[in-house]
Amino acid sequence: MMPVADFYSSSLKVPMLKSLLAVSSFVCALAAHAAPDAALVRRLADADSGVKVAAIRELARTPGPDVLRLLEAMSEGRLALAGGAVLIVDGGSAFDAATGAAVKAPENAEAVTVNNRIRGELGNALAALGLFDPDPAVRLASARKLQGKAAAGMEAVLSSALARESDPRIKDLLALTRAQAHLSSADPAVRRAAVRALSGSSSPAVRGLLLPLTGKDGEADARVRQAAISAVKSIDGRLALTENLGRAFSGLSLGSILLLGALGLAVIYGVMGVINMAHGELLMIGAYSAYAMQTVFRNHFPEAIDWYLPAAIPLAFFSAAATGALMERTVIRWLYGRALETLLATWGLSLILIQAARALFGAQNVEVANPGWMSGGVEILPNLLLPWNRVIIIGFALCVLLLMWALMNRTRLGMFVRAVTQNRAMAGCVGVPTARVDTLAFALGAGVAGLGGLALSQISNVGPDMGQSYIVDAFMVVVLGGVGQLAGAVWAALGLGVVTKLLEGWSGAVIAKIVVLAFIIVFIQKRPQGLFALKGRFAD
Amino acid sequence: MKSRRAFLKVAALSAALASIGLAPSGARAADAIKVGILHSLSGTMAISETALKETALMAIAEINKAGGVMGRPLEAVVVDPASNWPLFAEKARQLLAQDKVAVVFGCWTSVSRKSVLPVFKELNGLLFYPVQYEGEELEKNVFYTGAAPNQQAIPAVEYLMSPDGGEAKRFVLLGTDYVYPRTTNKILRAFLKSKGVAEADILEEYTPFGHSDYQTIIAKIKAFAAEGKKTAVVSTINGDSNVPFYKELGNAGLKATDVPVVAFSVGEEELRGVDTKPLVGHLAAWNYFESLKNPENAKFIAAYKDWAVRQKLPNARTVVTNDPMEATYIGLHMWKQAVEKAKSTDVDKVIAAMAGQTFNAPSGFGIKMDEKNHHLHKPVFIGEIKADGQFDVVWKTPGPVRAQPWSPFIAGNDVKKDEPEK
């Protein structure tokens, strides 16, 4: 992991350099501005947050590189108070925040506390300063940041930024932001124009700003109130769309996770009819593979740590597959056709595997970090942010599914597996080595479970008994989908994911879980063969 | 022949097992005082409770090094109730009836405490409970070294309503579905009502233990926050669910400057293993933070780090200290002082001697056990999460606060006595 200080300085260098290069043009454009007033700077370190906020607002009115540097340092917690002087601390060196003179970093410097209120204020002030940056990308980002946050006092800054802006996209955004600031104007006509301008927005923050204007308490003028009511209504329409899209996405995401958890079981249960209670532990092996690979990368390739996850894919598959093959060879093959004994034996195996994981990795959960490229999210629409880890897991589930499908339908092994599923005795008669196919199919199912566990490690906890919480879900998917069919598992997983998410939104997580279980019980009563059943004649 | 060999094998195996079971008893010093440690070392609560076991063992080693209690060494009896609430009662009975321990340090969740209470009452045992909880309880056999609601939950919500906390007007009360979050939220609801917050501005949500999919909850919080008033989240999520919750919160881009989340069961330990950079500014309320600067705390942290390295704990170089660990540490030392004052480990005598005990705690304050109500007088701190997983204290009480186990915000509590029934 990158030390925090390095992280900041490296991410900072670019904008800092740019703003320094821009000093000359800045100075000319904004007329002469002096270094920040020392008394004002001292107030940044005042004990009272109210005084700090006032000082920040005051400073932000006179944009310039010094102010930018000062506020950036403050937002990163690099401002310190020592002997009445405010210092900017930069690694080992320090300089006076008002004069810019380098000073020796004192021992007893006390860091200036930045709480949420100050951080929000600094964010706004920095974004306002960013509106004057020569780089259009910085200006655009700053304008975006100010959306829904514009305070009444920012009107002047916004107007001057708007007057200097040439990029039409940024101009539009700034006009919207200024309209938000205008909502608290004293003139009803200005307020009404602002409400009209904002009615085209689809951001929940803007809706929040307009909402107080729809009531008598927040707005005295009836015509403004009317305009606000219709504006909120039109925003609501657009928000409902993104909310439903968001719900569908979370259902899809849960479905993909259920599918990854159940796909391996679909093969094992489907082909051999083995009720594998140790399936959850195969998921666990996959998840611990991610942890093991992460540890290897941390110790030996710290610069490539972001790529530990792809490297863990083969490890997860083969370690789970090897465990599966071992289980089949040593225990399960002696118990074919005896469902109850298999159930008990695999349950025993699951306990052994849990205890083995405890002995190897400790009883506590282990930390598996999201790689950098899986953190954060992508904003599709103003109110629809899809987290990368979930998007990638959906893609991963699709890939695994495609590979499984190809393997089952396009290879000789897949043909053998299907033959054994449909009629074991007849397949044996025509020369299919059923015993070997059993082992391979079991190993394949276990390996796929390992891949599922690898994906699970990115969104939930990795611990010795993590498998226990997925085994019920996995069986639910397979039973609902119908035995022996991949398509059944896919539809069941997606259906359960979407239904669970809809119910959760409506009734909360606890009730949703109960309702889904009750639904499956009723469904299995009515249709014991599941959603999809194999057609044709069976030996058993 | 075969059956005979099998018999021999079984006999050898059972002998080996027996010797494992008996080995500690053989090594036991004759006059050691036994101390029971009842914390989950596996299951969903292990993330929080394992560190408490280590702290208790460290404090015991520390006391033994300084000559023990009344010249007798302490001997820890560690059991693992595995986050399984009925098993807590079973293990508590084992500690009291079979191992005959003088005192038990244990439990985290209120449901586990409620499950062992009848055992402690029946066998007249002594339990030190080190975690903040919902109050509504005052038992003769229990000393509560964590916070009561007025020492954590109420000040935290007051902070959220202050200008520095963002003047929140709407509240999401989010918790794991069991007695502590439900009761705390009942108290908070009554408190918020007394402050003029409307019913429609409070959203209560619960998830099961070990819940790992927080997409819906985060979407609900986002929608609830878009109603034009400043919204804050009060989280009483317990155990390892916090990791997926905070991961989702970070990935969904819900910033602390927009919707601050204040947590009552999340400390330094729970945040190990979470990337805290997107979480900067979210809050926690406790009676202790590792980042507090004072000599007692420096000593405590150094002692625990040293302990972790010597015991070869996993990730020993990055261990942290937190509030319930401090409470465990205070509890053990106060119990030692009380035993020395009572000159006996007899439960009733120790209970009497506990009243008014003081200890210089790592929080930097002289902490006192109340003369009557079995709770500590504790200072309250509110901290913001920093990028390195530590907390920046942004608000604190001027001094220790007396606990109110019977919250005045629950009807009928005004007639309840502020001391346990004899």
What are A122-166's pLDDT values in tens digits?
888 888 888 888 888 888 888 888 877 766 567 777 888 888 888
* Interface check B220 vs A, CB under 8 A: yes
- Tell me: pLDDT of A18 over 80: no
Give residue B323's pLDDT.
Answer: 95
* Interface check B47 vs A, CB under 8 A: yes
Q: Of the given ranges (A70-74, A91-95, B108-112, B236-240), which has the lowest mean pLDDT?
A: A91-95
Extract the tokens encoding B284: 């926690």
Report the alpha-carbon distance of residue B336 to residue B358 in Å, rounded. Answer: 12
Question: Quick check: A363 and B42 CB within 8 A?
Answer: yes
CA distance A314 to chain B (A): 24
Question: Quick check: A117 and B247 CB within 8 A?
Answer: no
Report the alpha-carbon distance of residue A391 to residue A457 in Å, rounded. Answer: 15
CA distance B176 to chain A (A): 10
Average pLDDT over residues A64-71: 84
Better pLDDT: A203 or B285: B285
**For residue range A503-528, what is the model confidence (pLDDT) as tens digits?**
888 888 888 888 988 998 898 888 88
- Tell me: pLDDT of B187 over 90: yes
* Interface check B36 vs A, CB under 8 A: no
A243, A367, A469: residue with CB nearest B272 = A367
The sign of the torsion formed by the CA atoms of A357, A362, A363, A365 equals negative
Report the alpha-carbon distance of residue B255 to residue B268 in Å, rounded. Answer: 20
Give residue B274's pLDDT.
Answer: 73
Q: How confident is the model at residue A530 (pLDDT cuts 50, 70, 90)?
A: confident
Contact residues, chain B, for A366 at CB < 8 Å = 273, 314
Crossing angle of helices A388-410 and B242-251, rounded to 10°: 100
Mutation target to probe the B interface, by most B beta carbons within 10 A, among A53, A76, A117 is A117
A204, A358, A366: residue with CB nearest B42 = A358
Q: How many CB atoms lie within 10 A of CB A347?
A: 15
**Whole-number percent of chain A with pLDDT over 70:** 90
Give residue A47's pLDDT.
Answer: 81
Which burial class, exposed, middle or buried, applies to B73 when counting CB atoms under 10 A from its CB (0-12, 13-18, 19+)?
middle
Give residue A225's pLDDT.
Answer: 87
Q: In what order do the strands lie in the sheet with B376-377?
A: B358-360, B366-369, B376-377
Average pLDDT over residues B240-255: 85
Contact residues, chain A, for B386 at CB < 8 Å = 77
Give residue B3's pLDDT.
Answer: 52
Give residue B362's pLDDT.
Answer: 95
Mutation target to probe the A interface, by most A beta carbons within 10 A, among B54, B84, B164, B221 is B164
- In the Cβ-directed half-sphere of B3, how many Cα atoms lie within 13 Å? 0
Prediction pTM value: 0.82
Q: Specify the 3-state DSSP secondary structure of B384.
A: strand
Q: How confident is the model at residue A46 (pLDDT cuts 50, 70, 90)?
A: confident
**For residue range A341-354, what is the model confidence (pLDDT) as tens digits?**
889 999 999 999 99
Give residue B5's pLDDT.
Answer: 55
Contact residues, chain B, for A198 at CB < 8 Å = none
* Interface check B348 vs A, CB under 8 A: no
Contact residues, chain A, for B384 at CB < 8 Å = 115-116
- In the Cβ-directed half-sphere of B370, how many Cα atoms lie within 13 Å? 23
Better pLDDT: B170 or A483: B170
Give whichever of A77-81, A214-218, B103-107, B265-269 has the largest mean pLDDT.
B103-107
Q: Of the given ranges (A395-404, A422-431, B148-157), which has the lowest mean pLDDT?
A: A422-431
Report the alpha-carbon distance of residue A182 to residue A162 in Å, rounded. Answer: 14
**For residue range B24-66, what is the model confidence (pLDDT) as tens digits?**
444 444 589 999 999 998 877 887 899 999 999 999 999 999 9
Question: Quick check: A113 and B392 CB within 8 A?
Answer: yes
Extract the tokens encoding B106: 């244990």
CATH no. of A251-526: 1.10.3470
Nearest chain B residue to A514, by CA: B208
A113, A119, A257: residue with CB nearest B257 = A119
Question: Quick check: A113 and B219 CB within 8 A?
Answer: no
Give residue A535's pLDDT.
Answer: 59
Extract the tokens encoding B399: 């001094």
Nearest alpha-carbon partner for A463 in A193, A219, A281, A251: A281
**For residue range B60-81, what is the model confidence (pLDDT) as tens digits?**
999 999 999 999 999 999 999 9
Question: Quick check: B205 and A508 CB within 8 A?
Answer: yes
Give residue B4's pLDDT.
Answer: 53
Q: Specify the 3-state DSSP secondary structure of A62.
A: coil
Q: What is the DSSP string of A107-135?
A: TT-EEPP--HHHHHHHHHHHHHHHTT-SS
Extract the tokens encoding B186: 């009942």
Extract the tokens encoding B348: 């009733």
Give residue A61's pLDDT.
Answer: 78
Mutation target to probe the B interface, by most B beta carbons within 10 A, among A213, A364, A368 is A364
Q: How confident is the model at residue A380 (pLDDT cuts 50, 70, 90)?
A: confident
- Tell me: pLDDT of B15 over 60: no
Extract the tokens encoding A50: 């109210």
A120, A388, A459: residue with CB nearest B244 = A459
**Whole-number percent of chain B with pLDDT over 90:** 68
B41, B43, B281: residue with CB nearest A465 = B43
**For residue range B345-358, what is the model confidence (pLDDT) as tens digits?**
999 999 999 999 99
Nearest alpha-carbon partner for B268 in B99, B392, B418: B392
CA distance A372 to chain B (A): 10
- Please name the amino acid found at residue A383: N
Q: How many CB pairs under 8 A join A and B?
A: 158
Contact residues, chain B, for A379 at CB < 8 Å = 253
* Interface check B41 vs A, CB under 8 A: yes
Nearest chain B residue to A240, by CA: B223
Report the alpha-carbon distance of residue A139 to residue A143 in Å, rounded. Answer: 6
Radius of gyration of chain B (CA): 22
Nearest chain A residue to B392, by CA: A113
Mutation target to probe the A interface, by most A beta carbons within 10 A, among B240, B249, B251 is B251
Question: Quick check: A115 and B394 CB within 8 A?
Answer: yes
- Tell me: pLDDT of A21 over 70: no
Contact residues, chain A, for B277 at CB < 8 Å = 7
Q: Specify the 3-state DSSP secondary structure of B206.
A: strand
User: A365: which strand partners?
Assistant: none
Nearest chain A residue to B164, by CA: A117
Question: Beta strands B261-263 and B231-236: pairing type?
Answer: parallel
- Tell me: pLDDT of B22 over 70: no
Q: Note which residues in 248-307 of chain B have CB less than 8 A from chain A.
A: 248, 250-253, 256-257, 260, 272-273, 275, 277-278, 280-281, 283
Better pLDDT: A342 or A206: A342
- Tell me: pLDDT of A465 over 60: yes
Phi, psi at residue B39, to the nearest 5°? Answer: -125, 145
Give residue B261's pLDDT.
Answer: 95
Nearest alpha-carbon partner for B263 in B333, B192, B184: B184
**Which CATH architecture is the domain B150-289 placed in?**
3-Layer(aba) Sandwich (3.40)
Question: Quick check: A113 and B260 CB within 8 A?
Answer: no
Q: How many CB atoms lie within 10 A of CB B150?
A: 21
**For residue range B366-409, what is the model confidence (pLDDT) as tens digits?**
999 999 999 999 999 999 998 888 999 999 999 999 999 999 99
Average pLDDT over residues B190-210: 92
Nearest alpha-carbon partner for B250 in A506, A252, A390, A466: A390
Phi, psi at residue A185, to the nearest 5°? Answer: -70, 155
Q: Note which residues in 223-242 of chain B have CB less than 8 A from chain A.
A: 223, 225-229, 240
- Tell me: pLDDT of A540 over 50: no
B213, B219, B275: residue with CB nearest A369 = B275
Report the alpha-carbon distance of residue B199 to residue B234 in Å, rounded. Answer: 16
Q: What is the DSSP letter of A501?
A: H
- Please name the amino acid found at residue B261: V
**For residue range A320-373, what is the model confidence (pLDDT) as tens digits?**
999 999 999 999 888 877 888 889 999 999 999 998 998 888 777 788 888 888
- Tell me: pLDDT of B9 over 70: no
- Which residues in B11-90 belong to E strands, given as ranges? 33-38, 74-79
Report the alpha-carbon distance of residue B134 to residue B110 in Å, rounded. Answer: 8
Contact residues, chain B, for A460 at CB < 8 Å = 212-213, 243-244
Nearest alpha-carbon partner for B406 in B223, B125, B183: B183
Q: What is the DSSP string of B130-182?
A: -S--------TTEEE-S--GGGTHHHHHHHHHSTTTT---EEEEEEESSHHHH
* Interface check B11 vs A, CB under 8 A: no
Q: Note which residues in 56-75 of chain B have CB less than 8 A from chain A.
A: none
Nearest chain B residue to A250, by CA: B215
